[in-house]
Structure 1
Amino acid sequence: MIGKKKSKAAVRGKVAVVYTRVSTKEQAETNQSLETQLERCRAYAQRHGYEVAGEFGGTYESAKNDERKEFKVMLDFVRKSKLKVGYIIVYSHDRFSRSGSGAIGIVDELSKMGIAVVAVTQPMDTMTASGKLQQGIQFLFSQFDNDQRREKCVAGMEAKVRKGYVVGKAPMGYDQLKVNGEQVIKPNRQGKLIRLAFQLKAEQGLSNTDIIKRLKAQGLTLYNQTLTKIFRNPFYCGLITHGLLEEGEVIVGRHEPLISRDVFLRVNGLQAQNAHGYTQVKEDEALPLRHHIKCGSCQKPLTGYEMKKKGIHYYKCNTKGCCLNRNAGKMHELYQDLLKEFQIDPLLLPQVQEMMGQVFKKRARTMSRRKSV
C-alpha cells in the first residue's frame, strides 16, 4: 500500500480505493506507468465525487494469478473496512487482473457486497447485464493475451535452445556474459576444477569421495549428489539438453566444452557401476523377479539362487533372522495371475487403439511444428 487517507464513514457508493500496478520495470516508462495510472484514477474519482479512502499497489506485480501481496491487501481492506467502500478504481481491467475466470469470480463476490470495479480507460455500467458481460470479456481477453505471450515466449526459448544458446542460468563452472548484445558462456575458475574432477574420474578412476576431498583442498566444496549431477550433465562436453526439447534430444551448444565427449562417456560408464564398489549382476532369466518383489515380513527386495542338485530356483530374503524362501515356479504363477488383473478387456481394444492413434498423431504434429521452428 503506497498511501492511505483517514476518512469518516460514508454511504457505500461514495467511497473508493485506487489500485495501480505494473508487471515489469519497463512499463514504468510507458503511458501505463504507476504515476500515470495514479493521476488518471484520482481524476476519475474527483469527477464522480468519490472519496478516496486508500491507494494501493504502486509496485511491480504480475497479474497472471491473484496471489499478489498488494492486491490481497487491497481486497482485505475493501472487504473489512468500516468505511463501506463502493468502488475499486483501476486504470484498465488488465491492471486489476489477468486471471480471466478468476478475476470474474472476485468481481462477482465484490458485487454481492455492493463493491464495483471500474476502469478509467474502459468505462462501462457494470450494474447492467450488458456491462457485466463486457467486463467479463475484458478479463478473458487479458488472460488470452497472457496465454499468447506465454506461447510466443516458449516458442522463442525453444528456438534459442535449438541454436545452441543457454536459456536460463548457465551451469556451475561457467560465467554468463553479453558481448555486443551476444550471449557468451565462458569457463571460470570453478570450471577448471570441474574439468579436473572429470579427469580424476576418467583417468584415475577415483571415487567421488576422493575427488571431493581434492577439490575442497583447492577451494571448491561439493557434495556427492552435486558432483554426481555434474558428471551426468552433457553441457560440460558441449551438448545442451532442455525440457523444451524432445526426450533424449541434444543440441550442440555455442559454449566452450570443459571436456571431450569421450571423457564424458568414460566417466558415466564408471558412474553406472555401483557406488559401493561391487558390480551389478546381470539379469537371470530363471529369476526375473529378483530385486523386484519384496519380502512380506521385512519389505526388503528378494534375491534368488539355484539348488543345483535338483535344478530348482528359489527366491529368498537375505535379511538376518528372516527365513523367507519361496519356490520360483510358484512365485511366477502368482505373479502371472496378478498381471491378468491389469489386462484390457478385449471388447475395449478398438476404443483403446483409436485413442492411442489420436495421441500419436497429435504428438507427431507437435514434433513436426517444433522441428519447423
Structure 2
Amino acid sequence: MKIADLYVRVSTDEQADKGYSQRNQEEVLKRYCLVNDIKVRQVIYEDHSAKTFDRPEWQRLLTDLKGRRKGKVDLILFTKWDRFSRNAGDAYFMINILRGLNIEPQAIEQPLDLEIPENKMMLAIYLAAPEVENDRRALNIFHGIRRATKEGRYLKKAPTGYINRSTVTGKKYIAPKEPEASLVIESFEKVAEGTFNTEKIYTEMFKKGLSLTKSSFWRMLRDKHYIGKIFVPAYKDEESHFVEGQHEALISERLFNSVQDILDGRGRKNKVKIVSKEQLPLRGFLECPNCGRGLTGSPSKSKTGKYYYYYHCKSPCRCRFRADLVNEKLIEMLNQFSIKEERLKYFQKELIEILNSKLNDRGNEKKSLLEKIENESNKLKKARQLLLNDKIDSDDFKEIKKEVSNSIDRLELQLASVREKPKRNIKEMIKSCLRVISNLGDLYAKSGLEDKQRLLSSTFSEKLVFEKNNYRTPKVNKMISLIYLIDRGLYIKKNGTKSQNEDLCRQVELIRENSNHLGDDIRLLAGI
C-alpha cells in the first residue's frame, strides 16, 4: 500500500474569489485515497500564496521528508497543479527535488504520468496557466493603481498629518488628521522663517507630539503631497510627472517653495542653533568683545546653593558677564527705539503706499508669467500639429516637448513664488507693525523665550557685543534703522510743520529704495 501526504493550500483571495476551501480539498483528496487504496500519513494545511515555495508549512514538510528514510512516503497529493505552484520554473525545480527523494507529486484532478515524455507538455500547460493568471492579475492591479494615481487619488499609507478614508462607494482617499496636520503646517512655517536650525524645529515639534524620526521629518519637508500634488512615476514612454491630487492640501505652494529654498541654502538666513533657558535668552546672539567668538551661557552655583546665570566665552580669554545685567541692559537699549505718536500716521500712510505699489508689481509679474506659460503651451500645440502633418519626426517632437515642459516647470515655479495679496487688511498690518516697532522693549520683556529669540533675529542683523556694562551700537534691521533715523531727524528739525511733513514723505521714500524685503520685515515683526 502506498503512503501519501495530502497538501491542502488556499489563499484568502482565492477563497473569496473562487470559493476554494481547505475542507473541500481535504474531502476530495481523502475520497481519492480511499478509492485507490492509499494510506494517508498526514494532511498539511497551507494558507499562503503559491508564487514561491517559501511557505511555512511546505518548508516544514520538505524538512521532514528529507530527514526520513527513503520509501516512507510515496506520494504528495493535491487537487490541482495550481495548488502546488503558480510559478513554472520553481515547480520544475521542486519536482526534481521530490523525485530525488523517490516521492511523486500528483494532482488528482489533473493526473499525469511524468514517466511519459509527452506528459511534460501538459505539465507545462498546467503550470503556466496559473502563472499567466498571476501575471495578468498583477498587471491589471498595476494599471488600476496607475489610473487612480493619475486621477489624483492617494492609495498608499497616509503621510503624517493625514488619515486613510473610504467613500461610501469604497474609493480610497486621505483626509487631514488633527492634531498632526496642524503640527505639520507649523513645521513648514517655522522652517520657512529661516530663523532657527531645522534640527531645533524638529525637536520642538517632536515634543509637541509629531512622532517622526529626523530622517522622516526631512522627507516630510520635501513631500509635495502636502501641497496637494500626486507623483506619477515614469512608465514605458511616459515620463514621470505630478498631477493635482483629490486630497486637501495642508500648505500653499509658496510656503513649500520657501521651505525648499531654505533647505537648499538659497533662502538661508543667519540661523541660530540654540537651546536656551529662560534666564539665558541671548545665548547664541552675543559676541565676545575680546576674541570675537560667540558667547554661550550657563548657571554657576554659589556657596549658599543659589544659582547665578552668566554669559561667557569658551576661549581662554575667560570673558563673562552676569546674565541678569546683560538682559536688563538689552531691554533698556530696546526702549531707546521709539517713534513719536504724531509721526506714526505719516509713516503709516507712506508705508501703505509702498506696500500697495509692491503688490501691484506682483500682479504684473504674475500676469507676465501666465502669458509666458501660455506661449510655451502654444509652442507644444504647434509642434504636435507638425508631427501630425509629418513635417517633424517623433524624436524631434519628444525633444521639443521636453524643452517646453522644462520651461513651463520653471515658469510655474516662479509663478508659485510670487506672493499673493495678504489676507489681512494692509492698513491693519502696517498699524500692527508700527506698534511693534514703537514698543520693542516692552514687547521683548513680556514675550516668552521663543518669541524673544524671533524678535532678536528680526531686529538685529549681526550679533550683539556687550562690554563695560553696556552694548556697542548694534547693526539693526535696515527698515527699522531708517524709520528711527527719520524720526530723530524730524525731532531735531523743530521749525516749520509743513516742511517737516513734506520732508517726511521724501525720507520715507528711502525705505522703498533700501528695503528689498519690506513686506517680509513687516509681517515678521507684526507676528502675521
User: Which residues of 2 match residues 157-236 of structure 1 at below 5 A?
Assistant: 157-180=145-168, 181-188=170-177, 189-236=179-226
Q: Is the 8 A contact 2:234 2:241 kept in 1?
A: no
Partner of 2:63: 76
Question: Structure 2 residue aligned with 1:62, among 39, 45, 49?
Answer: 49
Q: Does 1:40 align with 2:28?
A: yes
The aligned length equals: 269
Aligned pairs for 1:1-373 within 5 A: 14-24=2-12, 27=15, 30-56=18-44, 58-82=45-69, 84-180=72-168, 181-188=170-177, 189-243=179-233, 248-273=240-265
Change (3 A) 1:205 1:267: farther
Q: Quickly say closer, same or farther: Cα 1:182–1:221, change in 2 above 3 A.
A: closer
Q: What is the Cα deviation at residue 276 of structure 1?
A: 10
Question: Does the C-alpha gap of structure 1 residues 27 and 199 become closer, same or farther in structure 2, counting only changes over 3 Å?
Answer: same
Q: Gaps (5+ residues) in structure 2?
A: 272-393, 399-528
Separation in structure 2 between the aligned mates of residue 29 and residue 153 of structure 1, nearest angstrom: 15
Change in CA separation of 1:277 and 1:19 when aligned onto 2, cut-off 3 Å: farther
Task: Specify the SS of the correspondent of 1:18.
Answer: strand
Q: 1:167 corresponds to which letter in structure 2?
A: L
RMSD, aligned α-carbons: 2.6
Task: Give every structure 1 segment of 4 or more consecutive aligned residues whose post-TM-superposition deviation is greater than 4 Å.
Answer: 244-248, 274-279
Q: Distance in 2 between matches of 1:248 and 1:20?
A: 44
Question: Separation in 2 of the partners of 1:171 and 1:247?
Answer: 24
Contact 1:23 1:61 in 2 (8 A): yes
1:26 deviates by 5.5
Residues 224 and 278 of structure 1, relative CA distance in 2, 3 Å threshold: farther
The 3 A distance-change label for structure 1 pair 124 and 65 is: same
Distance 1:277 1:259, change over 3 A: closer
1:228 match: secondary structure: helix
Structure 2 Cα separation of the partners of residues 106 and 33 of structure 1: 24
Question: CA shift at 1:110, angstroms?
Answer: 1.7
Q: Which has the larger radius of gyration?
A: 2
User: Per-residue CA shift, 1:237-276, capped at 9, x if unaligned?
Assistant: 1001144665541111111111011111110111111999
Deviations 1:290-315 (A, max 9, x none): xxxxxxxxxxxxxxxxxxxxxxxxxx
Distance 1:222 1:113 in 2: 52
The amino acid across from 1:226 in the alignment is S
Q: 1:142-163 CA distances to partner (integer Å, 9 max, x unpaired)?
A: 2222112111111111111111
Indicate how the Cα distance of structure 1 residues 186 and 219 shifts in structure 2: closer, same or farther if over 3 A, else same. Answer: same
SS where residue 209 of structure 2 aligns? coil
Q: Higher helix fraction: Structure 1 or Structure 2?
A: 2
1:248/1:123 CA distance change after superposition, 3 Å = closer
What runs of 5+ residues in structure 1 fail to find an aligned partner?
Answer: 1-10, 280-359, 365-373
TM-score, length-normalised on structure 1? Answer: 0.66
